[in-house]
Amino acid sequence: MNQPKMQREKQLSNPELREPVKVFCRLRPLCDESELPSLKLLSPTTLTIISDTKTKGVRRECNYMFSYVFTSYSGQREVFEHVALPLLEDLVNGKNGLLFTYGVTGSGKTHTLNGDAANPGIMPQCINTLFNSIGELQAQKYLIKSDRMNGFEVQSENEALEERFRETKSITKRVRLTKKGSGDKIMYNNDGTKLKNIRDDCLFSVFISYAEIYNNAVYDLLEDSNGKLQSKIIREDSQRNMYVNGVEEIEVKSAADAFELFAIGQKRKRMAHTLLNAESSRSHSIFNIRVVQLIQGQNLIKVGQLSLVDLAGSERCNRTNNTGMRLKEASSINNSLMTLRTCMEALRENQLSGTNRVAPYRDSRLTLLFKNYFEGEGQVRMIVCIKPSDQDSEENLQVLKFAEVTQDVQLTKAEPRYLQTFKTPTVKTGYIQTPKTTKAKTISSFSFGPKIPSVKLDLQDVEKNFAIIDKLAQVLRVRKQKCDLNNEDFDRRAQHLRKRLIDSNQENIMSRSEIRNLKAMLKRDKSQIQNLNVKIVDLETLNNDFLTKNNEQQEFIQNLQLTIDEKNLKLNQNCLEQEKNKQKFVLHAEKLNQEHDNKLRKQRHQLEMEMQARDLKLKKVKELIESDVNVDLTQSHREVTKLPETELKENIPQFTSESVIDRNVTSNRLNRGRGIGDIWLEHNAVKPIPLQTVLQPSMKRRKSVDRLKKASDVTNPKQSKYCLIAQESDGAGDVETKLYKGDILPTCTGGAQVIFNGVECLREESPTKMPLSPNNK
């Protein structure tokens, strides 16, 4: 039979070695001060809740007893001194303790345990008080090392020195966790409290671990992972204590290191927003503080553990309206809390009625992990957090009923745990001594009492025979009693062995179930990996195709870019050529203008000479004409040759055969002189009547057309003059011939334009014709 379990049964059978679970109550302040609370405080240990019954209009008051009731005005320090300080004193003496907060969501459980920087909760005050007490008695780092099976081993000084050297040379695990976890470091207020009765002949080492139970799976919040936490398995160590296999236990040497690890775990803890709580815990968090003592002069270490558990709040879905993942989380939380309540009820029923009801620890990871505490491996404390509002009265009633059940459970008093080290370290300080020999465990054998003596009867001495028979009967009675005791011991051992076999069978079944689940998960993961590999191959093929198409498109883009560059080059060349042509055209135009001006200057000079010669001839003609015509005719002729006012306004010159005495004769001769050497385009709009005048148009080089049929008639570069001939009859019936003259100039677009610069009028009149009087007009 297992020795620790026998000790537990003896302790449970002895009322003096048992103590009840201490349950405390803490009331949260109301959000609305005008709201009336549904709870009344009768005394520091008694609380009354007012509940509605099924009968309408009837309200019932129920009283509940606690170890102590903290009102809404109680501070964090008061809660720590009443609840956690005794557990902390047991911790440094090698005893175990469990403290968990229970209540509905938003009742102040997390605030009670954690608090804030100005008002630290139970956990920060425990850390500060612990390091205030053992600050000078701490062992060197890595002298004590976790064996990762819920035990510890002592290393030699050289091994510890190597561990510290590796820590300074490379990045330690805690630093990696700090970088990856990116927790917000918080420094809590330290009031300098110290514990009493700390042994001076011991060296202390503090180890921290932080885990959570989420959807009935255990996760290590301090695990050095790549962002995704792996679920852990709960196992039983050599002392039949439950622990989380593979959890990271990190040695800390100051309160700041512990707070840093706590901040990392808080960053990874599952939190969510609900209608009842802005930051609702979706998992049960477990913060473990383990203190290991090296006892001076012995090869023994003493281990104490304090577990601070922040239970997730129970909640009703009809109030939170949770759906999806939040609904699944709430269901898992409520199931684990229900399993905890069922285990407490089973323990209370066994103690009150003497039954042997099996507590369903394995139905939940929460109860399985703390199974040893409920069987006498340490003190258990519970803080029930209450929201004293009418809306939470039904949930508060269920919480108070659970508290009533819990404080009726009797647990054995905690005893220190001693573990013998399996290594033989050499420590210069002399705190550890290695025994030369180890004692082997002895198993007691069965004894059947005194040996049956040999009997010789004397037929002659009857009294002597009776004495011998009585002595024989006495020996046989003693042997029978011893046999009965052996049978009872055998039955008891058989029963305990049967229980151990049942427990082992259950553990085996759980292990097989876990193995099957792990195999199924492994198989599923393998199939997923295969599918992912197939998808990866397909994606790689598609990626190669896309790369090929991309390369083709890049080549096509490069070709297009080259084409565009070539066209841009050609456009730039064309622009340059156009600029050059334009400059050439401007220079040519300027040259032509200069040549034209020179030509005009020469023509003007030549015309002036010709005009002078003609003037001499005209003077002679005039003298001849004047000699033959009388004065009356001359006067009549001058009156007729006067120009009308309309033609003077339009500034269009007119000439007659006798207009040699007018100033227009000079202009007419000048215009005619300019036409020498030019090619004229003569445009006869109508067939003209032959002129009988002495003065005739002088166009030696000309081209006559009836109509302009095509553009080349005007754009011919050889033609530089234009003449439009038109004949009209005046009011007296005489015919007047008009010649509209102009210059043909080329345009920039390759065409030509005509600019009119003069009009010549030719007509013949009778010298005896009298001018019309104004009345006859």
Q: Which residues are annotated as a binding site for ATP?
A: 103-110
Reading the block at residue 221, the tokens are: 């919040």
DSSP H stretches of helix in 109-222: 109-113, 122-134, 157-169, 173-181
Beta strand segments in 517-594, E: none
For residue 503, the one-letter residue type is D
Query: Looking at the DSSP assignment, which residues form a beta bridge with residue 774?
Result: none
725, HSE (Cβ side, Cα atoms, 13 Å): 22
How far apart are alpha carbons 367 and 374 in whole angstroms?
9
Q: Which residues are annotated as a binding site?
A: 103-110
Question: Is the sign of the CA dihedral 212, 217, 222, 227 positive or negative?
Answer: negative
Closest by Cα among 11, 4, 2 to 493: 2
From residue 400, how far is each of 31, 64, 73, 104, 171 by CA, in Å?
Answer: 21, 7, 20, 11, 49
How far apart are alpha carbons 641 and 658 in whole angstroms?
8
Q: Which residues contact 449 (CB under 8 A, 6 or more apart)?
A: 475, 478, 479, 481, 482, 483
How far apart are alpha carbons 18 and 10 in whole angstroms?
10
From residue 162, how far is each of 165, 445, 495, 631 by CA, in Å?
Answer: 5, 48, 50, 153
How far apart are alpha carbons 634 and 623 in whole angstroms?
13
Closest by Cα among 349, 385, 202, 368 to 286: 368
Residue written as tokens 């932080």? 210
The CA-CA-CA angle for residues 110, 115, 146, to 5°, reads: 75
